[in-house]
Amino acid sequence: MDRIRIVGGNQLNGEIHISGAKNAALPLMIASLLTEEPLVLVNVPRLADVKQLERILENHGVDIAVHGRRRGDTEMGGQRITFTASDIVDTTAPYELVSTMRASFWVIGPLLAREGHAKVSLPGGCAIGTRPVDFYLDGLRQLGAEIEIDAGYVLARAPGGRLKGASVRFPKVSVGATHVVMMAATLAEGTTTIENAALEPEVTNLAECLVAMGAKISGIGTGRLVIEGVEKLDGAIHEVVPDRIETGTYAFAAAMTGGEVFLRNARPELLQSALDVLVRTGVDVTTEEGGLRIKRNGNGIMPVDVETDPFPGFPTDLQAQFMALMARSSGVSAIKETIFENRFMHVAELARFGANIHVDGQTATVTGVPELKGAQVMATDLRASVSLVIAGLAARGETVVNRIYHLDRGFERLENKLSRCGAEIERIAG
């Protein structure tokens, strides 16, 4: 199993290209199941999760064509991929495919809407909390679906072959449930209203793609979506939004190590809350044409309290990275996790660097230390993995991050991007 070796202490200086967002690319790929015409996605990141979802879609009969570079494309630019679901040959998403990635469960919405039935394994993914699919299934039931769970599979059927528009209100904001119900509603008979819809940029990106395919959706970017169902959707060309979590991750890495990094393709409006927090730590954040410039001033890292919240709040997917930064702050900070109940698994690994962190329920109190020391550490989930890399970049001596397949799920060319900015980092095959 591959590992990443880091020798810490180098500042980061240079430019990092921000890839397309994994959390946007996956639902966009799944949306290809809604139409028999080609859906072309631009700026698709090269990630393990993308490859896994390609296998799942191919199992349903989707033809997938990866296009070569075009004139003007850069080396670090994303992929251009065409997905064509002209004929769905199988409405079953089996356990061996779905169990490795939670987002693959979302195929239930398009399959049910287009084919009138679906059999989808209950999902897997990172072990950061239970993350039940109750909201997904309750939303589909309100659209008229008959649903039962048998032997680990969700069996869903639309009586008469088509879902019916309805008023759906989520008791709690859920990105996945918003994706699933919104996609299903585009082909439902009548009008669907989704109340308490997620506001995340990835949801907006999907909604805009569905509109380009011929869906009728109003209220995009708000907590109330109104979807007027249509008979069929068309093909489209759509671009994956830049990855706000990757943007925040490299911004925190630059703050941790010092130096000056330009994050090309970054869009500040996608993570303004996190950038505001970063400024409070004493880091200079400047919006420029084509991206963001991150520069740590000479006054060290100031402690800041944060609480994770759904967008536009501080993202839970940046909590671990921010905790690594606070481990080197000049005081005490409190980090409260409100989204997932089991997302402090990285604390024990950060402690191996010498970080001083105390967890009480959903709050971690971080007392900054003058120095972190390199260590052997193990990745526990996707975002926790990269927090260990950030700590290793600033730690004295050598760090080895084990079980990095988590990193490959969500960060494209991580070691390549960091080494170009002066980090001493390499992948060790094994």
Structure confidence by residue, pLDDT tens digits, 247-290: 999 999 999 999 999 999 999 999 999 999 999 999 999 999 99
Is 421 annotated as catalytic? Answer: no
pLDDT of residue 126: 41
CA-to-CA dists, residue 68 to 45, 65, 399, 414, angstroms: 14, 10, 37, 22
Looking at the structure, tell me whether residues 272 and 362 fall in a common domain.
yes
Pick the last residue of a domain from 191, 220, 239: 239
- 38-51: average pLDDT: 96
290 and 393 co-located in one domain: yes
Predicted pLDDT of residue 25: 98
pLDDT band at 132 (very low <50, low <70, confident <90, very high): low
Q: How far apart are CA 300 and CA 123, in angstroms?
A: 43
Burial class of residue 212 (count of CB atoms within 10 Å of its CB; 0-12, 13-18, 19+)? middle
- Whether the per-residue pLDDT at 341 is higher than 80: the answer is no
Pairing of strands 3-7, 424-428: antiparallel
Which of 239, 261, 294 is the last residue before a domain boundary? 239
User: How many CB atoms within 10 Å of residue 352?
Assistant: 18
Average pLDDT over residues 123-147: 76
User: Predicted confidence band at 72 (pLDDT cuts at 50, 70, 90)?
Assistant: low
Has this prediction a pTM greater than 0.85? Answer: yes
According to the model, what pLDDT value does residue 130 have?
Answer: 44
One-letter amino acid identity for 312?
P
Question: Considering 209, 239, 269, which residue would you say is the last residue of a domain?
Answer: 239
Structural domain including 334 reads 3-17+242-428
Distance separating alpha carbons of residues 329 and 262, to the nearest angstrom: 23
Q: Are residues 10 and 32 in the same domain?
A: no
Q: Is the pLDDT of residue 159 over 80?
A: yes
The band of 340, judged by pLDDT with boundaries at 50, 70 and 90, is: confident
Same domain (yes/no): 250, 196: no
Q: What is the pLDDT of residue 99?
A: 82
pLDDT of 196 > 90? The answer is yes
The tokens for 397 are 């001596």
Same-domain check for residues 228 and 290:
no
Nearest to residue 148, comparing CAs of 140, 320, 49, 214?
Answer: 140
Question: Is the pLDDT assigned to residue 127 strictly greater than 50?
Answer: no
Task: Identify whether residues 266 and 201 lie together within a single domain.
Answer: no
Statement to judge: residues 45 and 90 lie in one domain: yes
Residue 125 predicted with pLDDT over 60: no
Residue 98 has pLDDT above 90, yes or no: no
Higher-pLDDT residue of 71 and 149 is 149
pLDDT for position 430: 77
264 plus 305 within the same structural domain: yes
Read off the amino acid at residue 341.
E
Mean pLDDT, residues 372-379 taken together: 95
Which entry of 50, 126, 210, 323 is annotated as an active-site residue? 126
Is residue 172 marked as binding?
A: yes
Checking if the pLDDT of 85 tops 50, the result is yes
CATH number of the domain where residue 125 is located: 3.65.10.10
pLDDT of residue 292: 98
Number of domains in the chain: 2
Give pLDDT, residue 129. 42
Check residue 16 and give its pLDDT.
Answer: 98
pLDDT of residue 226: 98
Q: Is it the case that residue 293 has pLDDT exceeding 60? A: yes
60 and 82 together in one domain = yes
Task: Please report, for residues 61, 66, 88, 110, 211, the alpha-carbon distance to residue 82 in angstroms, rounded to integers and kept in the order given.
Answer: 13, 7, 16, 17, 18
Share of the chain above pLDDT 70, in %: 97
Which residues have CB under 8 Å from 69's CB, separation 6+? 77
Supply the mean pLDDT for the chain: 94
